[in-house]
Amino acid sequence: MKRVLIVSPHFPPFNAPDLQRVRMSLPDYRAHGWEPIVLCVDDRDIPGMREPELSKSIPSDVTIIRCPALSLRWTRLLGVHNIGLRCWLNFLFSGARIIRRERIDLVFFSNTQFVTFTLGRIWRAWLGTPYVFDMQDPWRTDYYERAGSRRPPGGWKYQVARLMAWMLEGWSFRRVAGVMSVSPSYLEDLLKRYSEFASVPTAVIGFGASQHDIAVALAMPPPAVRYERQGGEIHILYTGASGPVMPHSLSVLFDGLRLYREKNPIGARRLRFHFFGTSYVAPGQGRDSVMPVAELCGVADQVDEIPHRLGHFECLRLQLEADILLLPGSSDLAYSPSKIYPYFLADRPMLAIVFCQSVLEQLTRELACAFTVAMTEHGPKDEAHAALARFFDCALHGFPAGSLPVRNQRYFDEHFLAESLTRDQCRLFDSAYARAVAPS
């Protein structure tokens, strides 16, 4: 059995979006011929939310090597909070020792701390070990430079990160043995920038969802965050971060609600919208990002927001208890939200507000999992508002037969269950390893 070193700075009990692929895949790597060893940062060196239940989902016989990172007490004096920068030097030498000692066949970088990707090329030069990248987000992007885009967040830190991406992405990718991506457009962008990328094994592999996670969520006590049911209210839920590229779809949603309320004030009042965990910060530190949009559209009295980060299993439990799940799209057409997959397993009616020709639009059509409202960023929104009115009518009447699409369960099981996605990852590992060791 071949051995893969998985580089994932964030790891349970810490809770972060970029560790979920590895966490869900660990039980199944061996079934496809790969023994996993995980290199992560000691959770004592990472500030943020802990979720002990996540650790219970990790097989007890998987080797987890926790490495210290530079102390925030010192690095914050230089304005450095990024965990990738803080762990880079320790990972460099710890990873090299692991590769030698454990006779690692392949290194897999599955995280969004892109500076760690540079270690792949260094280790390959030192030790000859091939490496594979997991593009959960684009490393280098021109999204905020496009006409009509809002100002990028982060000020000078964004500019430094952008400069590093331009300097280091190409250098790291020119010796990569394989690349997986959650979005085909990320791979297309890489091919445009680097012609040699055409011969590299690639695969589009989404995040997926785990039936085991649903069982864990159902066995947990009711979450502390709740919504009261009264007067026949219909509770529409969104869980997860609300980034700066989402207000377009939220504006369409809230404007549609305002227009619907003008025509059907009594029925519309039954619709309650909840946005939970809309930032990545601890309780008491987050700022509302959804409520300002709702206030601007005049419907804030039907919307509530909890900005601090919620636990993974807490979100799953809330999704299982909601009447409707909301999936607002992004003006970044390559955006591929991982929450669509646990939403699917929750088996609740779903409302998706998507941009035409986006990855999200394609996903919702393939899975037939949602009432889909399509729109363009700058075009008129009349059709979208009319579609929302039809959805609200259906919701108020209990979703009559035929009002929602018939879910494509077979397609989901084949392409988006954690077990199936781990199989696809290992196929890419096999191709990348074979290409790397083949005689030149």
Q: Which residue has the higher pLDDT, 238 or 160?
A: 238
Look up residue 18 and give its DSSP letter.
G
Q: Is the peptide bond before 292 cis (omega within 30 degrees of 0)?
A: no
What's the pLDDT score for residue 152?
Answer: 58
**66: which residues sit within 8 A by CB, 6+ positions away?**
11, 40, 41, 42, 43
First to last CA, the chain: 24
CA–CA gap between residue 318 and residue 226 (Å, rounded): 8
- The whole-angstrom distance between residue 138's C-alpha and the CA centroid of its chain comes to 12
Q: Is the pLDDT of residue 143 over 80?
A: no
- Which of 138-174 are b and which e, b meaning 16 or more Cβ less than 10 Å from the residue's Cβ? bbbbebeeeeeeeebeeeeeeeebbebbeebbeebbe
**Rounded CA gap, 302 and 313, in Å?**
26
pLDDT band at residue 285 under the 50/70/90 scheme: low
Sorted by sequence, the CB contacts under 8 Å of residue 168 that are 6+ apart come out as: 114, 115, 117, 118
Whether the Cβ atoms of residue 182 and residue 363 lie closer than 8 Å to each other: no
Mean pLDDT of 239-247: 73
CATH topology of domain 2-208+417-437: Rossmann fold (3.40.50)
At 361, the amino acid letter reads E
Q: Where are the domains of the chain?
A: 2-208+417-437, 212-409
Percent of the chain with pLDDT over 90: 63
Is-contact 330 249, C-beta < 8 A?
A: yes
The three-state secondary structure class of 241 is coil
Residue reference for tokens 């959804």: 290
Q: How far apart are CA 268 and CA 302, in angstroms?
A: 9
Distance CA 425, CA 23 (A): 13
Q: What is the pLDDT of residue 378?
A: 80
d(CA 370, CA 363): 10
Provide the 10 A C-beta neighbour count for residue 250.
24
Tokens of 394: 């259906």
179-183, 281-285, 422-426: segment of lowest average pLDDT: 281-285
348-373 pLDDT, tens digit per residue, is 999 999 999 898 899 999 999 999 99
Domain covering 212-409 assigned CATH 1.10.3720.10 in the classification: no
DSSP secondary structure code for residue 181 in this structure: E
**Would 2-208+417-437 and 212-409 be classified into the same CATH topology?**
yes
- For residue 409, give the 3-state DSSP assignment: helix
Which residue has tokens 């980060």?
Answer: 309
Mean pLDDT score of the chain, rounded to an integer? 89
Cα maximum dimension of the chain: 73
- Residue 5 near residue 101 (C-beta atoms within 8 A): no
